[in-house]
């Protein structure tokens, strides 16, 4: 089963003692959160919690989800170590009980869902964001496949369909005003699996 293989991949990655992507927040997320008044934020595919815990340390009311129990376990340990609380749920989004228009911000930081459902996941998230709410997004672009061929240590999906284009994001978030949407080259140093030069798409989009 493809779904089992996907889950097992992440359970295995997060089961080690070391944090797969480190414990420091993503630079782009950190930069954006300092510009916004604290409120309620949801982290999608949050893994081991580095970004959620950082947001909680700034005073955000933080919720997060992932399919990996191992990821949640690491996230809760990190939250305890940093003295913050996060509401972390495990499972498919539609089963987790979040409320319509519950959040002021939804963060998608390297939230690489399987190619067949990635747009559906983006569209499903929309109903949990209030009108005027913000999407913060950073993930690998389709050009990243070339960077990955030169350096596997930079990480990211190895199939181009799982990578993103700006046109895909514009379609997925068609009811949004894009305050920033760009493809750029970044030097990553995040834990064990994001190291080196890569190509990413970054966007800030406000729900109309």
Domain-wise residue ranges, the chain: 2-207
Q: pLDDT tens, 42-66? A: 999 999 999 999 999 999 999 999 9
Is residue 73 within 8 A of residue 112, CB to CB? The reply is: no
Is residue 20 within 8 A of residue 14, CB to CB? The reply is: yes
pLDDT band at 6 (very low <50, low <70, confident <90, very high): confident
- The answer to whether the Cα torsion of 44, 54, 76, 98 is positive or negative is negative
Predicted TM-score of the model (pTM) = 0.96
Could you tell me if residue 197 is left (phi over 0), alpha (psi between -120 and 50 degrees) or otherwise beta?
A: beta
Class of the CATH domain delimited by 2-207: alpha beta
Name residue 207's beta-bridge partners.
176
Q: pLDDT tens, 120-169? A: 999 999 999 999 999 999 999 999 999 999 999 999 999 999 999 999 99
Question: Cα(107)–Cα(110) distance, rounded to whole angstroms?
Answer: 10
Cβ partners under 8 Å of residue 43, min gap 6: 51, 52, 55, 62, 63, 64, 65, 106, 107, 109
- pLDDT at 186 exceeding the cut of 80: yes
pLDDT band at 1 (very low <50, low <70, confident <90, very high): very low
């Amino acid at each position: 089963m493809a779904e089992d293989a996907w889950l097992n991949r992440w359970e295995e990655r997060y089961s080690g003692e070391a944090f797969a992507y480190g414990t420091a927040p993503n630079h782009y997320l950190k930069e954006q959160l300092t510009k916004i008044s604290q409120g309620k934020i949801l982290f999608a595919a949050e893994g081991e919690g580095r970004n959620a815990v950082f947001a909680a340390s700034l005073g955000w009311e933080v919720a997060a989800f992932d399919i990996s129990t191992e990821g949640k376990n690491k996230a809760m340990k990190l939250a305890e170590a940093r003295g913050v609380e996060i509401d972390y749920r495990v499972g498919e989004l539609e089963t987790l009980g979040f409320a319509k228009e519950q959040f002021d911000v939804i963060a998608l930081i390297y939230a690489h869902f399987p190619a067949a459902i990635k747009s559906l996941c983006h569209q499903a998230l929309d109903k949990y964001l209030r009108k005027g709410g913000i999407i913060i997004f950073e993930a690998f672009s389709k050009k990243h496949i070339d960077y990955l061929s030169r350096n596997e240590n930079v990480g990211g999906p190895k199939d181009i369909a799982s990578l993103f284009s700006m046109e895909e994001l514009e379609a997925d978030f068609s009811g949004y005003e894009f305050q920033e949407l760009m493809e750029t080259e970044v030097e990553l140093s995040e834990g064990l699996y994001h190291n080196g030069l890569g190509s990413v798409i970054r966007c800030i989009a406000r729900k109309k």
